[in-house]
Chains A and B, each alone.
Chain A
């Protein structure tokens, strides 16, 4: 019997106030105010101005495309990447090796879709998006590797890349260029593309 009494003391006025503020914010949310716009632009200008000054020498850095696959960070040399796509449709082709999931058509170009987890013997870590496609370009051919998330382009100092341990057993350990301090596995695109598996397939 006491609870209704307590509920009766619910602060309706306060609620109305909050609702008012919320509706105001929502209305404002779609278009920034003049002041806010100015502030944001100013902040960006500041950061851009800073970056130009800190421009390091390009030879010391390796530009990579960072992506996430089965919750692991990977990087691949951007010089070998033609472009990235969001995989819309894929055609499974029977008789292909298991690491090739199928074929996709990008602007009239048929590109094989490779799941590198199968190549690296990585476990299927739960359900992942696996809807991004990074198209690598070699002299002979072009292939797409699947990724969960494309993080973006990143410049990594070459000194930071540690070479992989040779003692680690594994068929394709030579495809890995190394590992950065923040646990990013750098894949050697050239070695990967020039490996036997694709030649065999061809």
Chain B
């Protein structure tokens, strides 16, 4: 524990120091690199700047010079009178202006920024130059045409003015270039100042970090010292005598406990042989040699000798310890005082003996008890078996009950459905009975109507019969008349015969009379035939009438029968209506009672559900009881086995 703490602290210290110094070095290197880089950059930019300045400004100066030359040449051309001289000067003037043009082109190429004012002015300059060139060619033409004075006028007027303008422009450009140059220098100066500020800031941060790291390192160092003191104190506080031994067997360090147990001061102990302080030095030597060999030793018994001669029995625990590089430096040994322990062991032995005696006694008792327990267990086993049997029987009966309940529930449902069906049917019967009652009322009414109609029919039939009877009487009258007519015909016949006889008596005179007699006879015969026909017809009529009378009579009887039957029908319909009303009432009662039955059935179904639940609970309880009985049985068996193990 102490060791590990120290390690961690060391590591932290070391790590922190290294990191701090590393950061410092890195920062210094950073400062140096940045300084060199920026110096280089400044140098380069300055050189580039100078170059660009010269490239830009020098051609303009050149232009200025050439313009001055050109002006002088114009003056000379104006002054001279010799044509040869003039042409020569003019050519020189042309060459000079071409030089100006070329230089101007170069300057424009050099000026990259085509939107800058310098470039614009250069462009203006070029435009004037081109105009000048045109003017010159005009002058040349004039000179060639010997119009010297006109050429001179142009040269002294327009051309000179232009040259002056160009000179002015060039001066302006130079001034601007100068100003730009100065501005650039100022910017460069500002940049440099900013960089210097950066360096100062960076250096300051580096110094602060370095100071912080130094403080950290100092604090870690103090903590390390405190930790090592703490470790030393712990070692000194240990009650066990602790000692470190070099490979040669010399004592290198000890704690207070060692000083106490040997009676020798620490200074005297260090450097002396380890084995000199034991009653058996050889064994001690063998012990630490063993440690070097194996790496450690545990409970190695030795006896330490005090200067006064007092001996202390100890057990040594020792192991090698290594340096930071892993090399074995020596042995670290700790001794444990076991003097008291030895005494206690003796006492313990005596106690053990007495205990053994008592245990033997107890064992005997235990044997007796176990035998009794075995008997009890046997009884328990038997009774648990019985319980098991009983519970399984109960379980089976419970399951039977459950199935019976299921069947009953099904039956109840069926009965409930039947009750529902019968309720519906009863309702249907009630409705149809009401309808039938209505129909029977209608039937009754129609029967009454029928009876009325029948009565009317009877009246009419009777009227018919009466008229037929009247007819019959009248036909009898007709018969009498016919008899009379017949009689008359008979007499006419006789008359005709008599006439014929008279005519015969009269002889020839009576011949005409004979004809008349014959005629009368024939009339009488015809009358007789007619009467006989009428009589035949009359007899037919009378037969028909008697038949009609009979038919009306039977019709009347039939009508009477019909009336009677209709009355009977009405009565039966009335009875039917009554019985139907009764059956409707009973159907309503059936409907009501089957609804009550349904309610009752529902209650029964509910009760059956409750019974089923109860039976299920019962089943579960029985199962639990069975399980309990089984576990009791198992327990009994186990107990038996256990007890049998203890049979002595």
Partner of A152, one of B497, B502, B504: B497
Cβ A153 vs Cβ B501 within 8 A? yes
Contacts A48-B515, A86-B491 given; indicate if A150 touches B497 (C-beta within 8 A): yes
Set B497, B515, B518, B525: member contacting A84, Cβ < 8 A = B497
Interface pair B501/A152, CB less than 8 Å apart? no
Say if the beta carbon of A81 comes within 8 Å of chain B: yes
Q: In the complex, A44→B500 CA distance in Å?
A: 19
Q: Tell me if A63 counts as interface (CB < 8 A to partner B).
A: yes
Contact A86 B497 (CB under 8 A): no
With a 10 A CB-CB cut-off, give which of A84, A85, A152 has the most chain B CB atoms: A152
Q: Are B498 and A63 in contact (CB under 8 A)?
A: no
Which residue in chain B gives the minimum CB-CB distance to A134?
B497
Residues A150 and B500 in contact, CB atoms below 8 Å apart: no
Which residue of the partner chain, among A63, A85, A150, contacts B504 with CB atoms under 8 Å?
A: A63
Residues of A within 8 A of B491 (CB): 86
Please report which residues of chain A, range 72-92, place their CB below 8 angstroms from some CB of chain B when the two chains form the complex: 78-79, 81-86
Query: In this assembly, does A177 line the interface, its C-beta being within 8 Å of a C-beta of chain B?
Result: no
B498 pairs with A152, CB closer than 8 A: no
* Cβ-neighbour of A85 out of B494, B515, B519, B521 (below 8 A): B494
Interface residues of B in 511-567 (CB under 8 A from A): 515, 517-519, 521, 525
**In the complex the two chains form, what is the Cα distance from A23 to B498 in whole Å?**
39
Q: Which of B402-460 contact A (CB under 8 A)?
A: none
Inter-chain contact B498/A83, CB cutoff 8 Å: yes
Cα–Cα, bound, A44→B491 (Å) = 22
Given contacts A152-B521, A153-B517, contact A82 B494 (CB under 8 A): no
Complex Cα–Cα for A85 and B490 (A): 10
Indicate if the CB atoms of A152 and B500 lie closer than 8 Å: yes
Q: Give the residue of A78, A85, A86 whose beta carbon is less than 8 angstroms from that of B500.
A: A78
- Closest CB in chain B relative to A118 CB, distance in Å: 23
Closest to B491 in A: A86
B498 and A84 within 8 A (CB):
yes
Complex contacts, A65 vs chain B, CB 8 Å: 497, 501
Does B472 sit within 8 A of A, measured CB to CB? no
Contact B494 A84 (CB under 8 A): yes
User: CB-nearest residue of chain B relative to A81?
Assistant: B501
Q: Could you tell me the distance between the alpha carbons of A152 and B519 in the complex, rounded to whole angstroms?
A: 12
Measured in the bound complex, the distance between the Cα atoms of B491 and A150 in whole Å is 10
**A63 to B491 CA separation, bound complex (whole angstroms):** 21
B591 at the interface (CB under 8 A from A): no
Asked if B255 is at the interface (CB within 8 A of a chain A CB), the reply is no
Q: Which A residues between 137 and 185 are near B, CB-CB below 8 angstroms? A: 150, 152-153
Q: Cβ of A132: which chain B residues have Cβ within 8 Å of it?
A: 494
Contacts of A78 on B, CB cut-off 8 Å?
500-501, 504
Residue from A79, A132, A153 having most chain B Cβ neighbours under 10 A: A153
Which residues of B sit under 8 angstroms from A63, Cβ to Cβ? 504
**Minimal beta-carbon separation of A131 from chain B (angstroms):** 9
Complex: how many Å from CA A65 to CA B517? Answer: 13
Q: Is B391 an interface residue (CB 8 A)?
A: no
Q: Collect the chain A residues with CB atoms within 8 Å of residue B502's CB.
A: 83
Considering the chains assembled together, what is the distance between the CA atoms of A85 and B515 in angstroms? 21
Most buried by A among B493, B501, B515: B501
Cβ-neighbour of B501 out of A48, A82, A86 (below 8 A) = A82
Contact of B493 among A44, A48, A81, A150 (CB under 8 A): A150
Interface check B496, CB cutoff 8 A = yes
Which residue of chain B lies nearest to A47 when distances are taken between CB atoms in the complex? B522
Contacts of A44 in B (CB 8 A): 519
Residues of B within 8 A of A84 (CB): 494, 497-498, 501
User: CA A150 – CA B498 in complex, angstroms?
Assistant: 11
Residues of B within 8 A of A85 (CB): 494
A152–B490 touching, CB < 8 Å: no
Please, how many angstroms separate the alpha-carbon atoms of A191 and B501 in the complex? 20
**Chain A contact residues, CB within 8 Å of chain B:** 44, 48, 63, 65, 78-79, 81-86, 132, 150, 152-153
Q: For the A-B complex with A81-B501, A152-B497, A152-B500 known, give 13 more contacts whose Cβ atoms are closer than 8 Å.
A: A48-B515, A63-B504, A65-B497, A78-B501, A79-B504, A83-B498, A83-B502, A86-B491, A150-B494, A152-B525, A153-B500, A153-B517, A153-B518
What are 11 A-B pairs at a CB distance below 8 A?
A48-B515, A65-B501, A78-B501, A78-B504, A83-B502, A84-B494, A84-B498, A150-B493, A150-B494, A153-B504, A153-B517
8 closest residue pairs by CB, A with B: A153-B500, A83-B498, A84-B494, A84-B497, A152-B521, A78-B504, A81-B501, A78-B501
